Structure 1
């Protein structure tokens, strides 16, 4: 990336096809992995990819490609890249784009579009949809369609700048298919990024004054603080403040730290915790209803918000002070103005709140405690969980499985898609092959992307895929029952998951209880390919989506 003091020299122009211009621009931006599926209309891109030195991960569905790129981006901290063909292919990836937008994940979706001079009313062209560009534009943070080969390198640079210079969001780049084989003299555009806004000195001073006077401060940390782990720890220790995280903030402060309360702001005790705190510092979190199940923080709370997005800084609650800027840089500035002498040691208070929160978590996720203990025994401090929107994840692992690094709990918050966990684990393992990666899913959700077992096998990834099976869409079954409705359309006859996994090139084992799970996961982490571990459960509280 270029900086304020050092510029990158753009490579000289030369004749390139549109497909080659795209791939060369991606290479210049440091892309070394792409996820996707070739098709009739993107073959010129694949022709250029063949000699580019970029690893291509062949998924079995474009939605899987999108979730894999999302997992890759969350773990690596770099934008993920998805390449599809026209029409149904890019629309297959749309759910993944929406999830990336919801969770502020930088993923670039690239697809050919209909030709430049295609009739405006359509003519039945292969893969034609009414308005592919507008469909994608409606769900990503940045979208553009080029109209010349020469524009392609600039468009790539603009997409990367949009994804990385402020709040991370997915981007969509559409290239008319007749430009991909067309040649023109193109000059590559080097990477650049804009510096995010910095809080002004008056706002920093106002926040410092509030914190200097606070006797019971609290830190609420979200995914926007993933790049500020050291600064979050320093601020917590300076204030002697307990720290609780959202799902996407899990692990920003290691959950063994004496000031850590763990993850899960939806627990009843959190409402008491917030009420007992005279100043709340919310770092990189929307304070969103998808995290706060019991309702928003009271407007009576004194809240300092640190967020890179000025529109989010006042969403869901109006803060006493809004600090708009990069989390790490903003916290560092705040620390320089704080008076920390004379602070009461916060570890005892944190321990009391942690005990109450663990009681909440154990009551809510009691059926999963053995599963979480088994996973904890099999994993190390660098491990990560690629979780689906399943009860074993949001009632179980979120608050009952300790994790210790940022971006270690990959979870589809917000949009709450099903089928995320398996392909996200593929992307995560490719981004960090040295780390232990486990996919944790329900029997309903895994069927949305079960074909990606074949992609994981082809890539030779030693990933345990743990399926918690109760035979249906359990969360919806419970909600139907709670409403007094007739319970129907939620029961599933599960396949022989272990045999299915073996047929797709993986290992497969079935367990009747979690007592053998630690050994099974340990063996899977050292295998030569993915291992599906099928765990049957029963009971209302274990009915996983």
Structure 2
């Protein structure tokens, strides 16, 4: 008999899922029965939160949809944080879990792994959470999930299978033909209206967010056709070529750029929430006095944080392709490149000495290999990099400070990225505090022989929070932490480990790590690095 659990993995394969992150448990073993009959690869993390972060890194880097197989109860509460991060940053992942039998739900009988309402718990960190009540529902529910991933704002989807459903017969069900739905294009009249505003603007400003990551060529073409200044959000880094003459990088929070935003007569914002983690504006919403054109896949998002003059519901790539065609005959503004060069000089002068060190460290890491993907946690070099660093391509710089803001993200997310793109250089950048959240995931990486550097900024504290407390005259309680010998621990897991003593030595270690089997932990002692 083919069970519902066996049938499920066949349908996942039909939809193109090639990787599952999961920890088997007594409630989920039926999902594993059918895996050997597919080409789906299974990765075993050491914690369900690690499974979610790995899936996140895998999805961001590859653009493919990963799945997670998660046990009832504690597995779901463990992965909820990772789902929250993915939800905040619009990252797709399919989370499949078990749940107690249909006749046992919500009875409070003290069953193994029982929660009062597991589906309701996960609903807040997913596009939708569904309890499968019979095997026949599965094709339709999975079709809904992939419709979200492919044509709506992508976010996690959770599907739970009661124990009596996961083992039920699915002999009568056929594997469906996967149909990929398309994303919406922009209405032609809306594109024409946007083009008219932009062509007639005297001092426009363009803002490209993470939602436009797949439209880099179109965004660049529009910028050049208009001769307009452009900025990106953190997740939009790399959309404009590094050092492009019209790009101000991700500096929207800096006073000179805020002044530009305030005085712009037309602002185009594409694929961005214009929220505080998107713009680094934590004390105020962006002040926009001119006409605001917003393009977003999510119709509700078009009206949050900054009400638009013109709202366009569309996939960013479709919309920007259409807009690029209409504005290609625009007369570009003159003298803007010179203004950008002058502003860049002003912006660099605003960077403090510590941020300059962070900038040199990150640039050194990137310069070792072309198209390096750098995945960060919440630590001081990452915060500086959010402001100063420009990667070579989109999806090559991302971190957990951009949305939900969780520690421990970078290590498993970097492993997920390397699994997705084994031939690209991937680097994890994490602090000593954040590393201790998910440190056991080194075992997962060694188990499958991932080769990548994990750069650890070690200051024996939660440095950013300590600074925040000090700036507000709050006694620094709980932020100076005991940090064990991370190099010894890394070696115990089977990793290579060494402390960098200079920028040149750091680059040497990073280069070696890219070609060495198993991860390499490269520790940077903050006190030493500040004098590099």
After TM superposition, is the score higher than 0.5? yes
1:298 to 259, 272, 287: 287
Alignment of 1:70-89 (within 5 A): 70-89=56-75
Match of 1:286 in 2: 273
What SS does the corresponding residue of 2:350 show, helix, strand or coil?
A: helix
**Runs (4+) of structure 1 moved beyond 6 Å?**
none
Deviations 1:62-95 (A, max 9, x none): 0011011001101111222111111001110000
Change (3 A) 1:464 1:331: same
Match of 1:121 among 96, 107, 111: 107
Once the two structures are superposed, the pairs formed by residues 147-166 of structure 1 within 5 Å of their partners are: 147-166=133-152
> Which residue pairs with 2:175 in the alignment?
188
Q: CA deviation at 1:345?
A: 5.4
Please report how far the alpha carbon of residue 510 of structure 1 lies from its aligned counterpart in structure 2 after TM superposition.
Answer: 1.7
Relative distance call for 1:530 and 1:515 in structure 2 (3 A) is same
Please say if 1:453 is aligned against 2:442.
yes
In structure 1, distance between residues paired with 2:177 and 2:169: 20
Q: Which residue of 1 aligns with 2:362?
A: 372
Return the offset for 1:364: 6.6
Of the three residues 518, 529, 535, the one matched with 2:507 is: 518
Instruction: Give the Cα–Cα distance (whole angstroms) in 2 for the partners of residues 124 and 286 of structure 1.
Output: 43
3-state SS of 1:206 partner: helix
1:420 alignment partner in structure 2: 409
CA distance in structure 2 between the partners assigned to 1:538 and 1:294 by the alignment: 30
Q: Is the 8 A contact 1:247 1:264 kept in 2?
A: no
1: CA distance between counterparts of 2:326 and 2:367? 42
Are the counterparts in 2 of residues 17 and 183 from structure 1 also a CA contact under 8 Å?
yes
Pairing 1:400–2:367 present: no
Q: Which residue of 2 aligns with 1:10?
A: none
Q: Using the TM superposition, give the Cα deviation of residue 294 of structure 1 relative to its aligned residue in structure 2, in angstroms.
A: 4.6
The answer for the alignment partner of 2:304 in structure 1 is 315
> Normalized against structure 2, the TM-score is what?
0.95
Residue 478 of structure 1: aligned partner: 467
Secondary structure of the 1:93 match is helix
**In the aligned structure 2, how far is the partner of 1:343 from the partner of 1:270?**
18
**Please, which moves more after superposition, 166-175 or 147-156?**
147-156
Counterpart-to-counterpart distance in 1, 2:363 and 2:180: 43
Q: Is the 8 A contact 2:270 2:295 kept in 1?
A: yes
Which string of whole-angstrom CA distances, capped at 9 and with x for unpartnered residues, describes residues 301-351 of structure 1?
Answer: 321111111111111011121111011111122233324135425322222
The equivalent residue for 2:338 is 348
Contact 2:268-2:294 at 8 Å conserved across structures: yes
Distance in structure 1 (CA, Å) of the matches to 2:126 and 2:105? 26
Mind listing any 5+ residue stretches in structure 1 that lack a counterpart? 1-14
Q: 3-state SS of the aligned residue for 2:136? A: coil
How far off is 1:276 after superposition? 4.0
CA distance in 2, matches of 1:316, 1:77: 28
* Count of matched residue positions in the alignment of Structure 1 and Structure 2: 525
Q: CA deviation at 1:356?
A: 2.4
SS of residue in 2 equivalent to 1:238: helix
The answer to whether the 8 A contact 1:306-1:323 is kept is: yes
- Match of residue 235, structure 1, among 199, 222, 229: 222
When residues 458 and 505 of structure 1 are mapped into structure 2, their CA distance, relative to the original with a 3 A threshold, is same
Q: Which residue of 2 aligns with 1:275?
A: 262
The answer to whether the 8 Å contact 2:119/2:160 transfers is yes
State how far apart, in whole Å, the 2-side matches of 1:392 and 1:259 are.
26
Mark the runs of 5 or more structure 2 residues left unpaired by the alignment: none
